[in-house]
Structure 1
Amino acid sequence: MAKILIIEDDEDHCKLVAQALRSENHTTEEAHDGKDGLHRMLSYSYDLIICDWMLPSMPGVEICKEYRKAGGTALVLMLTGKTKSEDIHTGLDAGADDYLGKPFFTRELLARVRALLRRAAKPATEKVLRCANIEFDPVTLTVKKSGNEVKLSKKEIGLLTMFLKNPERVFSLDQLRSLWTDSPEASEDTVRAHIKTLRKKLHEENEPEIIVNVHGQGYRLNGTPEN
């Protein structure tokens, strides 16, 4: 079972692809806008990304380029109506691992997904992320502060993961709110409350805050994660 992100502006088509993938026990997430898709790719871990070319705000080829430039390693399958030879070359050169033109047969899509996942050289474990006295294991989802385990909620773990994986980035409240896909009505005050609780749980007396507020912009990690 793989975790797959589908970036496609045609919501009906997106749902059909998601349904086919779930029939093979994969879990899926959807983005219908280029910039939102790239944000998700950089903020969360996926086994495979299925990306259209023609998208609002940012084309799929640029998404691939930016993702690879940022060090993204997940598999990318371009699924698009642009099927000329030069388009295929452009997509693959941008960082896509495979390319499938529309229209397509569902059986072929699923076969390509299986082939990509088989050849994926994904390690069995991911590196533990460390920053200051905080240690996060992305496999077991355990967080330790000065060697002692800290109990975090699912949303708090999601927030911490975003900061640790993007140490130089300032996240706006709206960007952080993308974690609340199960509650799209969640307000910025909800995000602030979770940030406040997370900072309190991670704070060590007489030590600087590990997550700091950037006035007028949002929040960022205070420090550089260790490999």
Structure 2
Amino acid sequence: MKILLAEDDARLRKNIGYILNKDFHHVVEVNNGQDALDNAIAEWYDLLILDWMMPSLSGIEVCQQLRNAGFSGGILMLTAKDDTADVIQGLDSGADDYLVKPFKMEELLARIRSVLRRKEKAIEQIIEVEQLQLHIDSRSVMRNNVEIKLTKNEFLLLEYLFLNKGRVLTREQICTYIWGYEYDVSNNSLDALVKLVRKKVDASQDKSYIQNVRGIGYKLRECYVS
């Protein structure tokens, strides 16, 4: 999937861009509305993620101009406005969905999948690693067709590692994905979560699916990655 991300908050844009690039998307990032409009006119994107308040042109203005020009791809609006009238304005401008800040990255990915499904775009819904099958839609993990009961955060940890199998993920990236970009949790919280997931999914005490990368973060163990 090709996505245009327009967000003037550099930290948030970096976090979203990383997660989408390492997930299943090719992402072009811009920091203002005019660049978003110019890019969307110049080439096709499956989805636009537009911040409501941006320099040059607002997300609403970009959305309206592109819909008037015949753009038929998905549009997801990011906004700090949660008033009903503002939400209606965003949807009436042509947005397919909206997400109120602050939000968790898992919610952003869920909204993206929802918009793309409505646009009849196929996304991988089951990821298999050795004996484990991770089902994105049902938010479940199976081993040999038997479900492993996971909490919400346990699933998010495993989902992020599976989506990025073969890559090392930093602690910051993992915490942002699980607890949101304004997270306030300690390293001990992440380590404790990893320990809980290992106890539930590892078939052997000698070889865990989740490998610690000293001084950086975690990854799926290479022997489990095809």
TM-score by length of 1: 0.59
Q: In the alignment, is the contact (CA less than 8 A) between 2:210 and 2:218 conserved in 1?
A: yes
Q: Which amino acid aligns with 2:162?
A: L
Q: Tell me the alpha carbon deviations over residues 173-214 of structure 1, each in whole angstroms, 9 at most, x when there is no partner.
A: 121110211872111111111111111111113662111112
Distance of 1:180 and 1:106 partners within structure 2: 28
Query: Which amino acid is the alignment partner of residue 141 of structure 1?
Result: R
Q: What residue is the counterpart of 2:94 in the other structure?
A: none
Sequence identity percentage: 23
Q: Is the 8 A contact 1:164 1:225 kept in 2?
A: no
Aligned residues: 172
Q: 1:130 to 1:152 in 2, by over 3 A?
A: same
Matched residues in 1 for 2:134 and 2:218: separation?
19
Match of 1:106 in 2: 60
Residue of structure 1 equivalent to 2:212: 213
Q: Helix, strand or coil for the counterpart of 2:142?
A: strand
Q: 1:42 to 1:104 in 2, by over 3 A?
A: closer
- Counterpart mapping for 1:99-138 below 5 A: 102-103=56-57, 106=60, 109=63, 112=67, 115-117=72-74, 120-123=119-122, 126-138=124-136
1:130 counterpart SS class: strand
Which residue identity is paired with 1:210?
Y
The alpha-carbon distance between structure 1 residues 169 and 91, as it changes in their structure 2 partners (threshold 3 A), is: farther
Aligned to 1:53: 30
CA shift at 1:161, angstroms? Answer: 1.1
Aligned to 1:161: 159
Q: Which residue of 1 aligns with 2:86?
A: none
For the residue of structure 1 that corresponds to 2:156, the secondary structure is helix
Is the contact made by 2:162 and 2:220 (CA closer than 8 Å) also made in structure 1? yes
Q: State whether residues 126 and 139 of structure 1, in contact with CA within 8 Å, keep that contact through their aligned partners in structure 2.
A: no
Kept in 1: contact 2:161–2:219 (CA 8 A): yes
Q: Give the 3-state SS of the residue equivalent to 2:198 in structure 1.
A: helix
Distance 1:83 1:126, change over 3 A: closer
| Aligned-partner Cα distance in 1 for 2:154–2:217 | 16
Contact 1:171-1:217 within 8 A present in 2 as well:
yes
C-alpha distance in structure 1 between counterparts of 2:152 and 2:24, whole Å: 15
Instruction: Output the aligned Cα RMSD.
Output: 4.1
Distance (whole Å) between structure 2 residues aligned to residue 175 and residue 217 of structure 1: 10
Aligned residue identity for 1:196 = K
What amino acid sits opposite 2:192 in the alignment? Answer: A
Distance 1:83 1:36, change over 3 A: closer
Q: Give distance in 2, aligned partners of 1:173 and 1:210.
A: 17
State the match for 2:170 in structure 1. Answer: 172
Please give the alpha-carbon distance, in whole angstroms, between the structure 1 residues aligned to 2:15 and 2:128. Answer: 27
CA distance in 2, matches of 1:212, 1:132: 15
> Structure 1 residues 107, 204: closer, same or farther in 2, change over 3 A?
same
- Give the distance between the partners of 1:186 and 1:116, measured in 2 at CA: 37
Select the residue among 2, 10, 14 that pairs with 1:35.
14
SS at match of 1:81: helix
Residue among 69, 77, 81 paired with 2:34: 81
CA contact (8 A) 1:143 1:151 kept: yes
- Report the 3-state secondary structure (helix = DSSP H, G, I; strand = E; otherwise coil) of the residue aligned with 2:207: coil
TM-score of the superposition, structure 2-length normalised?
Answer: 0.59
Gap runs ≥5 in structure 1 = 11-30, 55-78
